[in-house]
Chain A
Amino acid sequence: EDQVTQSPEALRLQEGESSSLNCSYTVSGLRGLFWYRQDPGKGPEFLFTLYSAGEEKEKERLKATLTKKESFLHITAPKPEDSATYLCAVQVNFNKFYFGSGTKLNVKP
Chain B
Amino acid sequence: DTAVSQTPKYLVTQMGNDKSIKCEQNLGHDTMYWYKQDSKKFLKIMFSYNNKELIINETVPNRFSPKSPDKAHLNLHINSLELGDSAVYFCASSPTGSKDTGELFFGEGSRLTVL
Contact = CB atoms under 8 A, between A and B. Distances in A.
Contacts of A46: 103-105
Contacts of A95: 31, 33, 48, 50, 55-56, 94
Interface of A: 31-32, 34, 36, 38, 41-46, 49, 85, 87, 89, 91, 94-97, 99-102, 104
A83 to B, nearest CB: 15
Nearest to A47: B103
B86 to A, nearest CB: 16
5 contacts: A42-B109, A44-B43, A95-B94, A96-B45, A101-B40
B63 to A, nearest CB: 23
Interface residues of B, number: 27
Interface of B: 4, 31, 33, 40-45, 48, 50, 55-56, 90, 92, 94, 96, 100-109
A101 B42 contact: yes
Contacts of B96: 94
B92 to A, nearest CB: 8
B43 A87 contact: yes
Most buried by B among A94, A96, A102, A104: A94
Contact of A44 (B31, B94, B106): B106
A32 B102 contact: yes
Q: Which 10 A-B pairs have the closest CB atoms?
A: A43-B106, A99-B43, A102-B41, A32-B102, A46-B103, A101-B41, A95-B48, A101-B42, A91-B102, A44-B106
Contacts of A45: 106
A86 B74 CA distance: 26
A9 B65 CA distance: 33
Contacts of B108: 41-43
Contact of B107 (A43, A87, A89, A91): A43
